[in-house]
A and B are shown apart, each in its own frame.
Chain A
Amino acid sequence: MQKISRRSFLKIAAGVGAAAAVPLTLTMDFKVFAQDIQDDKVTKVPSLCNGCSSTCGLWAYVKNGRLWKVEGNEANMKSMGKLCARGHGVAYNVYDPGRVTQPMKRVGDNKFQPISWEEAFQEVGTKTRQILDEHGGDKFVWACHGGKETYAAKFLDVIGSPNYITHYATCFTAKTNIWDKMCGGMYNPDFDNAKYMIFAGRNYAGGIIPAAMKRITEAKEKGVKIIVVDPRFCELATIADEWIPIRPGTDLALYLGIAHTLISENLYDKSFVEQFVFGFDFFWMYNKDFSAEKAAEITGISADKIKELARDLAANAPHAFLEPGYHGLHAHYKNSNETAMMNVIINALIGNFWREGGLFPAASTTFGHPEDTYFGPKAEMGSRADGAGVAGQYPLVEAGRGIPQRIPDMIEKGQAKVVFFYHYNPLRSAPEPEYQKKIKNADLVVSIPCDWNETSVYTADYILPENHYLERMEHPKVINGNIYWAAAQVAARFKALDATSSSLDLLDILKGFTTAYGINNLYGFTIEEDMAASLGPIGISPDKLKEEGCIELRTSVLPKIEGITFNTFTHKIEFCIGAWKKEGFIGVPTWISPLVEPQGENEFRLIHGKQPWHSHIMTTNNPYLMAITEDYNGTYMWMNTERATKLGLKEGDWVTVANDIATKTTQVHVTEGLHPDCVWVPSTYGTYSDKLENGYGKGFNYNDFIPARVDEKTGHVMGQECIVTISKGGK
């Protein structure tokens, strides 16, 4: 028996030195080989993917203390055993050379000095205290992605700051704001029982929820009709029955045309509307002249097609839906709010709420919490620095979400003095990076990232690195939302790997910081105690959760006809938003033109979307995901063939993209799969932190070209109200 070393790419086992022994014959006994591999102990630890906000359940396979791979958890309703490319890639970020490996203190432009955690806590805690003592606790801002951590609120509560600001206004805030006002919360599609699905502004195959794609492709196999409305032939269009390219920024007109057809042809569910809708007549009064023909002129979709969509929705109702959408439409146009309203209205007109194959609210549950350990003084709560929910400023914006693009403005006006960024990088993910760089003018900027992102490099006085998600155990999460599931699930991240650097968990960072600030015992619990206290009331032990990775609670959201009520003032779906009328708006959606339009032969609307293997800007330093980008020319900007031909452009040509904010160069992908009015770029690229070597200098980002505007109703950035001129050459 001769020993051979395992193949080079099996070097995971190299740490233990022993090579597997296999008989060297042409018909090797692979059962023996496999057994040997298994003898290298592999542990499986449950966690939740951090590649986007879907929190897919996964198992981390750890061998000899090193991550081997991740696999989807079958029990988790978001993953159903599947993971997308970014899920695999982001797990590997634990070995990202772009990680910040210990606390850093700025000592100059792009110059940082490593310091100890003790020094970091003392300096950050003392400085924050000095500034807030002088200017008030409400000058403190905690800016983050949103929905990912739970501990900051305790500190904000003690110092009297309401300034918890999320990224939502740059992403989908029109949707959450409007659905909450009109139906009292979000409703999610039932892929398994629908017979007809329209997707507009949501590309599940690009902004992936793996279980959604699993269920959509299974529905397709059963013969369910899938329609995709998108200016781009997106990844979901690949498997759709029909792709309907729409002039970007005109989805509102399409929806009004569909609603007009449903009502004027008496196709809508009158019984549902009578029982469960408030404001139908008011809506119709304002829109009875907005016919499918009028919608056709605006959208470029024929009136016959618009009527066909309406008739097919009605014919399949209630086993049909207009998918509620996501980032694609809900922060991008002057009419994004009204577009979100019309989405609610069309679904209500076909009466699909709470109906099999229609829309359902998310099943949920309530966690317990550790007992309070801080009984000291609390400052009076101040008013929001960003004006969200504040009378006379942005009264209709959800205060719980905030207006992140205003942070530089708040700093300039003295409304924000100390800003903490938690895994949030507005210098790349918010509009106009040169404007966002002014964040450095705050008295103190602290970033809590994993990697050397732009916000840390250009604005932070201190960087306090958090552990990678596989290196930390976290407060448990309710897994629900976005896609219909009859029961809520409970899952958590458990520590799969020892920290590879001297980064810490958020809880430990906040303990150190608040103690140095002078608040004793604000977080008087360990993460293990937090987990046990959280799960206690629902009867789940942390050990059980660690064993299964994801536990499903009792079924609580099933189709029903009786007892339907909506969490609004009238307990009905409100076609007319009362809060809007109070602010002087008419309250029902009517046609609103996009803010800007491309005019000349070289003008285009700049639109963007998620590439299937990247998660906006947070994956651009990942060597595996960037290798996919390289192999498939992922940084190319899409342009319609006819328009490209007029500009003398062919595949791969360099072009200069410009407007009054920025000028960038890139290569073009010439395609039949894009509406002629626009160019499309992935939302991923344009990394300009030179400490992120894999992504640095590749492609550009749409945020380079948009100003930091604030929509007057829901506070979004209007991210696709952007015209660029394109000319050949530049490189």
Chain B
Amino acid sequence: MANYVMFIDPNKCTGCNACRIACQMQWNLPPHINFNRLDECVEGQYPNLTRVITPLQCQHCDNPPCQTVCPTNATYKREDGIVLIDEKKCIGCKHCMVACPYEARVISESGVPEKCRFCAEYVVNGEIPACVSTCMCGVRTFGDMDDPASPIHAALAGQELMQLLPGHETAPRVLYAKKRR
């Protein structure tokens, strides 16, 4: 069984939004429903500025609060680490949206609180998630930690990693490089 993680290096992101729309195309989402967003942090005073853009999405937590609160088990976690929603079981109560500290969920056209799927149906065939493959700056790396040949190992090597909102003890599978600026 695979062990999927995504590594995101915000230090490389220039905010082009290709990840957002590539994902929308991959999943045939309408324009205003998207699973990727960019959080911009500008610090300093003219002319000494730093700008760090952090791509945000479902963190595919190993301890997912959205799953814990789901009354119908619609939200579930696969053995390979990917968190998904079974649309048939979802009653649209939106508890998961409230529980997610990353505000990763958006209401789909059919009223289901949807989110990034780690391109679950595609990565099992060795494909790369659309947000990763389109990224010109190499911000994102996806891979299987249990596969020695996965590019994720080289991407993580020597990186000082951080996770978003560690206080929530969510154990995310999206790992971020520490901000260097």
A contact residues vs B (CB 8 Å cutoff): 4, 7-12, 24, 26-28, 30-31, 33-34, 37-38, 68-72, 81-85, 87-89, 91-92, 205, 208, 210-211, 213-214, 217-218, 220, 233, 235-239, 243-245, 612-613, 623-628, 630-632, 640-642, 671-674, 676
Contacts and interface: CB of A to CB of B under 8 A. Distances in A.
Contact of A628 (B17, B33, B53, B110): B17
A31 B51 CA distance: 41
Given A83-B18, A235-B15, A613-B16, 16 more contacts: A8-B112, A9-B108, A10-B27, A27-B79, A28-B78, A31-B125, A72-B134, A85-B17, A91-B25, A210-B136, A213-B137, A214-B138, A235-B16, A245-B47, A612-B17, A672-B49
B28 A12 contact: yes
Contacts of A210: 136
B28 A85 contact: no
A175 B28 CA distance: 41
B12 interface: yes
B134 A68 contact: no
B31 A214 contact: no
B96 interface: no
Given A83-B18, A218-B138, A613-B16, A673 B51 contact: yes
25 contacts: A7-B27, A7-B108, A11-B28, A30-B121, A34-B124, A37-B121, A69-B25, A69-B26, A84-B18, A88-B24, A205-B15, A214-B136, A214-B137, A217-B12, A233-B51, A237-B49, A238-B53, A239-B12, A239-B137, A245-B46, A613-B17, A624-B21, A625-B21, A674-B46, A676-B46
Contacts of A10: 27-28
Contacts, number: 162
B147 to A, nearest CB: 16
Interface string B136-148: 1110000000000
Given A4-B88, A217-B138, A243-B47, A9 B109 contact: yes
Contacts of A238: 13-15, 51-53
A82 B134 contact: yes
Contacts of B52: 238
Contact of A82 (B28, B109, B135): B135
A27 to B, nearest CB: 6
A37 B121 CA distance: 8
Given A8-B87, A213-B136, A243-B49, A88 B27 contact: no
A626 B31 contact: yes
Interface stretch (B37-45, B55-63, B162-170): B37-45
Contacts of B25: 68-70, 88, 91-92
Contacts of B18: 82-85, 87-88
Contact of A69 (B108, B112, B130): B130
Interface of B: 11-18, 20-22, 24-29, 31-34, 37-38, 42, 44-47, 49, 51-53, 73, 76, 78-79, 86-88, 108-110, 112, 114, 120-122, 124-125, 130, 133-138
Nearest to B88: A4
Main SS at interface, chain B: loop
Given A72-B134, A233-B51, A672-B45, A205 B14 contact: yes
Most buried by A among B12, B47, B53: B47
A85 B143 CA distance: 23
Counting chain A CB atoms within 10 Å of each CB, the highest count among B14, B22, B73, B130 belongs to B14
B51 A9 contact: no
Contact of A81 (B42, B88, B133): B133
B22 A31 contact: no
Most buried by A among B27, B88, B121, B124: B121
A591 B166 CA distance: 56
A8 B17 CA distance: 23
Contacts of B26: 69
A671 B43 CA distance: 10
A227 B32 CA distance: 36
B29 A9 contact: yes
Nearest to A38: B125
B134 A83 contact: yes
Given A205-B14, A238-B53, A30 B134 contact: no
Contacts of B24: 88, 624
Contact of B16 (A38, A85, A631): A85
Q: Which of B21, B79, B114 has the most CB of A within 10 A?
A: B21
Contact of B49 (A38, A91, A220, A673): A673
B49 A26 contact: no
Most buried by B among A9, A81, A92, A233: A9
A340 to B, nearest CB: 26
A55 to B, nearest CB: 16
Contact of B21 (A24, A81, A88): A88
Contacts of B136: 82, 84, 208, 210-211, 213-214, 217
Nearest to B124: A30
A628 B124 contact: no
